[in-house]
Each structure stands twice: as C-alpha cells, then as structure tokens.
C-alpha cells in the first residue's frame, strides 16, 4: 500500500516593511531605535526578533507574539523559525512594555535565558534582549549585565 506524504516548501514572505535610522546594529541604542520605530503605538506587549546577518545588519524583523497589556507567550520554536528560514547569523530579542517602564520582569529574564540556550543549540546566538519603554527609555539586558 502506498501513502501520500505531504511535501513542504518553506519560504519567507515579506509582509510589510518598516523604516529605521539604523540598518547595522552596533549598539543597544541602535537596536532600541529600530525596535521603537517598529513597535511605535503598540498598546499590547509585542515580542519581536531582529534577524541579523554576519555583519549585524538587520535582514528582517519578525513579530513572534502579540500578548496582552502585560504579558506575551513566547516559545523558542516561534522565535527561531523565521531566523532559520531567512538564514540569520544572530538575533536580538525585543519587546515593549505598554506601561512605559522598561524594567525587565522576572519572566523577561527567564525568557532571555531560555532563548539564549536555544540559540546556542541552533547556532544562532541571541546577542541581546531590549525592553522598550516610553520617552526614549529602554533597557538592554546585555548592557546591564543581566544577560
């Protein structure tokens, strides 16, 4: 008896685009500015991944999860799916705090640790996790020694 097996083709589809003052991420400030431009006006927590090439130029932005006012469900397979498809050399995680306070929560720190471990296994390092607040405020977990 023969079975029909599905054959899959995986491809990235450009959904839209975003403008930013930076293309290459050389500092947490540059990452924060790119994320701020992308997340501008979001009223709920959005978790995104900046997809980077070998020179840390952004080759794409992937919205991993849109949550509630103060939480977002994030799983490693969703974080790294787009990174694998587009051939990212590294990623930077980012999310906004609609409250305006960019202080990372205990959950943010646990998520970062989990994603860092997953990235190490996949060979796609997580370089930073940037939390966006209001009025140009942000927290870089790497810059603050929390990574």
Q: What is the pLDDT of residue 71?
A: 62
3-state secondary structure (DSSP) of residue 45: coil
- 1 exposure class (CB count in 10 Å sphere: 0-12, 13-18, 19+): exposed
User: What was the pLDDT predicted at 1?
Assistant: 87
Residue 18: other Cβ atoms inside 10 A:
13
- Give the integer Cα–Cα distance in Å for 54 and 56: 5
| Residue 69 pLDDT | 63
**Full set of structural domains in the chain with CATH:** 28-140 (3.40.140.10)
pLDDT, tens digit only, all 147 positions of the chain = 888 988 887 878 887 777 777 788 999 999 999 999 999 888 889 999 999 999 999 999 999 999 866 666 788 999 999 999 999 999 999 999 999 999 999 999 999 999 999 999 999 999 999 999 998 999 999 998 987
Between CA 106 and CA 126, with CA 96 as vertex, the angle to 5 degrees is: 70
């Amino acid at each position: 008896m023969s079975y029909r097996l599905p054959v899959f083709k995986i491809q990235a589809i450009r959904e839209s685009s975003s403008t930013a003052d930076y293309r290459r991420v050389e500092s947490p400030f540059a990452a924060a500015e790119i994320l701020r431009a992308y997340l501008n006006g979001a009223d709920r927590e959005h978790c995104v991944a900046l997809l980077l090439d070998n020179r840390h130029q952004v080759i794409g932005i992937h919205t991993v999860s849109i949550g509630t006012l103060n939480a977002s469900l994030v799983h490693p397979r969703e974080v790294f799916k787009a990174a694998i498809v587009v051939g990212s050399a590294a990623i930077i995680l980012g999310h906004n705090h609609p409250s305006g306070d960019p202080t990372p929560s205990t959950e943010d720190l646990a998520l970062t640790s989990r994603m860092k471990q997953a990235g190490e296994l996949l060979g796609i390092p997580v370089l930073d996790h940037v939390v966006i607040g209001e009025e140009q405020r942000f927290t870089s977990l790497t810059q603050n020694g929390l990574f």
